[in-house]
């Protein structure tokens, strides 16, 4: 149940090994220091991301779900080196991102981009949409002349469903959904291969959310993009993703093909998460039996030494072993990984 | 007699861009002990409607237009004296808000904030108030209530703070609780805990619940009846089952088609095109017509009224598609 060679076996079984992965994340860690005392010295650390490994094939979408504070956004940012990882390796197209110098990092950023959650906070309110997009092109040395860049700006706006007339407008003149389209256009400006979508539709109304989801899927199909899709909404993640990873307290606790994970969740946390979500499609039939989780997520400053989920785990078979030993993420069924040393919970009327 | 009866409520705001008709002719009824869901996207007027019921609309810039009526237990809330309104607020109608983190005073302990309500509204002495406050914390499921009583808001998680807000709201055993997106800021496992808590407390105390949300899944789990709002108006009402299984209004249909269901990855989502219009500039005629695939000339010429789907039914919709035989409504004489 607990494999002795740890991480190695976890990486092997993650279901994306048949072709060369575009992204290979190995034991990624990001700890933030906690300052305290009158001298403001670092007294502790928050283990926001604590040993995350996965691979992503070209054209694939991996969904990353979990509750607030589980480290999913930090994972996305650490992969892109928007924040420096504390440990582990990230290989992008075979190249270790830690070894990139400044110029190489710039070249990497042309291939990997991010779309943020908050379309209000991530656009400069003083810049027109046109100048914002043109600046991206200029920084990356795209387009010989201003005329070339303007043509590309128009092309980008049309690609995301906006109009060329929007070029001269400011962010406040757009609705939330339109601003998210601008954020997507900005990410697409450099023709990336890989995009981290960090809660791209969470701030949007239902009807507008569906528009942006359709746009992201169309762009993936037309441009062959690879997505890391981070969200807390389980239905949205299932709809977007080929595979899904569930995070809890900085670790992946379960990872499988989307349909498999939603149909046969093996980790008690995934079970609870799925049963707690209100039925998004209220016509879908009877409510599944709820699994109640008591209490809150423990603090990532001093995470429990054994299974991170031990305190809240509803599994009837949890025991001393769970409390002492942290279970590793291992393959339980073909391409289905879970970090739980017990058999799946009985499915009472799920 | 319904517990709450809102009739033709119009709440307008004066803005630089013109008069925003945030709530524009809303009528609804709520029986004692019933759970009514108000569903709609941002800007549909659902929160302004709730604040109007409690008399919390700042004036200026806000104004409740003459002709509106809000009757609670037979009493006209728009005409009562401020002192009486303060008595009703808290004692008989309570409200909880979306963000528990910003609804509590950060420099006072949660116990202090619960005690304040108990002493003010129920006239308890300090010691009695403390005992009652600790009991309330226990009732809303806070572990170690005696210690937690002396904690400050920043020492608690979002789910615990929302429990505290519920404890404060329930401290005077109100007959109506208005919950404005009470779980939107919370994680799903915590959301499930809070919804369960609300439902069990509601059943225990027999209070009515007005639940404002944008999440149809929450509505499906909790509500008896649903009111769908769009453009400051009610566009459809009915039982939860009727609305979710057989929506009549194209907007309700669009909301349901926008939801990714579990297990249909290959089916493309069917979003409602366009965006919600602005409250200073609602379209003439039907307010949804610019985004509606059924709209025809009639929808631009005149505004449909909210009418029963079948004569005498409790369920109604505001759409010419549902009422093709109705004559145009003469809106002359109504304030606009």
A68, A207, A278: residue with CB nearest B221: A278
User: pLDDT digit string (tens) for A30-84?
Assistant: 999 888 777 777 778 888 999 999 999 999 999 999 988 889 999 999 999 999 9
Question: Minimal Cα–Cα distance from A213 to chain B, Å?
Answer: 8
Q: Return the CATH number at A328.
A: 3.40.50.300
Q: Which residues of chain A have a CB within 8 Å of the CB of B191?
A: 276, 278
Q: Which residues of chain A have a CB within 8 Å of the CB of B211?
A: none
Question: Minimal Cα–Cα distance from A210 to chain B, Å?
Answer: 5
- Cβ–Cβ contact A114 with B under 8 A: no
Q: Are residues B258 and B272 in contact, defined by beta-carbon separation less than 8 angstroms?
A: yes
Counting the structural domains of chain A, the total is: 1
B238 forms beta bridges with B226
User: Hey, CA dihedral for A76, A80, A84, A87, is it positive or negative?
Assistant: positive
State the alpha helices, DSSP H only, in chain B: 46-53, 82-91, 100-103, 110-122, 126-139, 145-148, 158-170, 188-205, 216-222, 240-245, 250-257, 297-301
DSSP assignment letter at B22: E
Instruction: State how far the Cα of A253 lies from the Cα of A99, in Å rounded to an integer.
Output: 29
The answer to whether A210 contacts B245, with C-beta atoms less than 8 Å apart, is no
Residue by residue, pLDDT tens for chain A (350 residues) are: 444 443 444 444 444 445 689 999 999 999 998 887 777 777 788 889 999 999 999 999 999 999 888 899 999 999 999 999 999 999 999 999 999 999 999 999 999 999 998 777 888 999 999 999 999 999 999 988 999 999 999 999 999 988 888 999 999 888 888 899 999 999 999 999 999 999 998 888 888 889 899 999 999 999 999 999 999 888 899 999 999 999 999 999 999 999 999 989 999 999 998 888 776 555 555 455 677 787 777 777 777 888 989 888 988 888 888 888 889 999 999 999 999 988 887 765 43
Give the pLDDT score at B227: 96
In a domain, A344, yes or no: no
Residue by residue, pLDDT tens for chain B (336 residues) are: 899 999 999 999 998 888 999 999 999 999 999 999 999 988 899 999 999 999 999 988 999 999 999 999 999 999 999 999 988 988 899 999 888 888 899 999 999 999 999 998 888 998 999 999 999 998 888 888 888 899 999 888 888 888 899 999 988 889 999 999 888 878 888 888 888 889 988 998 889 999 999 888 888 889 999 999 999 999 999 999 889 888 999 999 998 888 886 556 777 888 888 888 888 889 999 999 999 999 999 999 899 999 888 877 789 999 998 887 766 444 443 333
Closest CA to B130 of B109, B148, B112: B112
Residue A238 three-state SS: helix
The complex's ipTM? 0.76
pTM, whole model, 2 decimals? Answer: 0.82
Architecture per CATH, domain B4-92+172-317, reads as 3-Layer(aba) Sandwich (3.40)
User: Hey, CA dihedral for A190, A191, A193, A196, is it positive or negative?
Assistant: positive
Closest CA to B65 of B8, B6, B5: B8
- Locus of tokens 């008399």: B55
Residue B23 three-state SS: strand
Q: Tell me the domain boundaries of chain B.
A: 4-92+172-317
Instruction: State how far the Cα of A38 lies from the Cα of B88, in Å rounded to an integer.
Output: 49
A194 phi and psi angles, rounded to 5 deg: -130, 130
Q: Which 77-136 residues of chain B touch chain A by CB within 8 A?
A: none
Whether residue B61 is preceded by a cis peptide bond, meaning omega within 30 degrees of 0, is yes
Q: Which 146-185 residues of chain B touch chain A by CB within 8 A?
A: 157, 159-160
- Expressed as residue numbers, the domain containing A202 is 7-126+170-338
Q: Are residues A218 and A161 in contact, defined by beta-carbon separation less than 8 angstroms?
A: no
Interface contacts A/B by beta carbons within 8 Å:
127
- Locus of tokens 């996965």: A54
Question: Minimal Cα–Cα distance from A280 to chain B, Å?
Answer: 5
């Amino acid at each position: 149940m607990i494999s002795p060679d740890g991480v190695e076996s976890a990486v092997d079984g993650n279901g994306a090994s048949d072709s060369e992965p575009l992204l290979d994340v190995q034991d990624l860690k990001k700890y933030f220091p906690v300052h305290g005392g009158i001298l403001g010295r670092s007294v502790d650390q928050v283990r926001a991301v604590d040993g995350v490994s996965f691979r992503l094939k070209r054209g694939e979408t991996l969904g990353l779900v979990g509750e607030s504070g589980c480290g999913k956004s930090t994972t996305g940012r650490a992969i892109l080196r928007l924040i420096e990882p504390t440990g582990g390796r990230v290989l992008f197209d075979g190249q270790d991102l830690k070894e990139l110098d400044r110029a190489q990092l710039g070249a990497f950023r042309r291939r990997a981009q991010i779309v943020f959650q908050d379309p209000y906070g991530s656009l400069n309110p003083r810049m027109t949409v046109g100048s914002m997009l043109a600046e991206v092109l200029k920084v990356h040395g795209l387009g010989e002349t201003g005329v070339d860049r303007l043509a590309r700006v128009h092309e980008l706006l049309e690609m995301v469903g906006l109009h060329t007339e929007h070029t001269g407008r400011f962010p406040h003149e757009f609705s939330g959904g339109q601003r998210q389209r601008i954020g997507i256009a900005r990410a697409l400006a450099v023709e990336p291969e890989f995009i981290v979508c960090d809660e791209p539709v969470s701030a949007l109304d239902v009807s507008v959310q569906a528009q942006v989801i359709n746009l992201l899927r169309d762009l993936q199909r037309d441009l062959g993009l690879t997505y890391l899709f981070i969200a807390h909404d389980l239905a949205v993640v299932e709809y977007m993703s080929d595979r899904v990873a569930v995070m809890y307290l900085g670790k992946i606790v379960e990872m499988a093909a989307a349909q498999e994970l939603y149909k046969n969740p093996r980790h008690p946390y995934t079970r609870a998460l799925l049963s707690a979500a209100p039925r998004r499609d209220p016509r879908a039939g009877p409510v599944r039996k709820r699994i109640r989780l008591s209490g809150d997520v423990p603090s990532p400053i001093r995470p429990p030494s054994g299974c991170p989920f031990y305190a809240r785990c509803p599994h009837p078979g949890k025991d001393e072993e769970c409390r002492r030993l942290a279970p590793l993420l291992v393959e339980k069924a073909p391409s289905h990984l879970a970090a739980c040393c017990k058999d799946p919970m009985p499915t009472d009327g799920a | 007699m319904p517990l709450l009866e809102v009739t033709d409520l119009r709440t307008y705001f004066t803005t630089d861009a013109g008069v925003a008709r945030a709530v524009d002719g809303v009528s609804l009824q709520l029986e004692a002990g019933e759970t009514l869901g108000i569903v709609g996207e941002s800007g549909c007027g659902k929160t302004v409607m709730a604040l109007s019921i409690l008399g919390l609309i700042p004036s200026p810039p806000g104004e409740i237009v003459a002709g509106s009526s809000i009757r609670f237990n037979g009493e006209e809330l728009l005409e009562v004296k401020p002192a009486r309104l303060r008595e009703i607020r808290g004692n008989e109608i309570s409200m909880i808000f979306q963000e528990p983190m910003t609804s509590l005073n950060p420099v006072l302990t949660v116990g202090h904030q619960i005690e304040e309500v108990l002493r003010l509204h129920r006239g308890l002495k300090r010691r009695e108030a403390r005992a009652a406050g600790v009991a309330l914390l226990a009732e809303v499921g806070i572990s170690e209530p005696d210690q937690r009583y002396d904690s400050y808001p920043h020492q608690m998680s979002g789910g615990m703070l929302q429990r505290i807000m519920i404890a404060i709201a329930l401290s005077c055993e109100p007959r109506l609780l208005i919950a404005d997106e009470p779980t939107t800021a919370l994680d799903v496992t915590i959301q499930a805990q809070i919804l369960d808590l609300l439902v069990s407390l509601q059943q225990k105390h027999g209070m009515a619940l007005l639940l404002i949300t944008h999440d149809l899944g929450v509505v499906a789990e909790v509500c008896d009846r649903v009111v769908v709002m769009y453009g400051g108006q009610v566009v459809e009402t009915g039982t939860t089952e009727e609305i979710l299984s057989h929506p009549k209004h194209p907007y309700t249909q669009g909301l349901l088609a926008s939801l990714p269901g579990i297990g249909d990855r290959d089916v493309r989502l069917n979003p409602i095109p366009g965006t919600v219009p602005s409250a200073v500039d609602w379209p003439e005629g039907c307010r949804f017509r610019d985004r509606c695939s059924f709209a025809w000339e009639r929808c631009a010429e005149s505004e449909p009224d909210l009418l029963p789907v079948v004569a005498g039914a409790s369920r109604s919709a505001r759409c010419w598609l549902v009422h093709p035989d109705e004559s145009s409504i003469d809106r002359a004489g109504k304030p606009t």
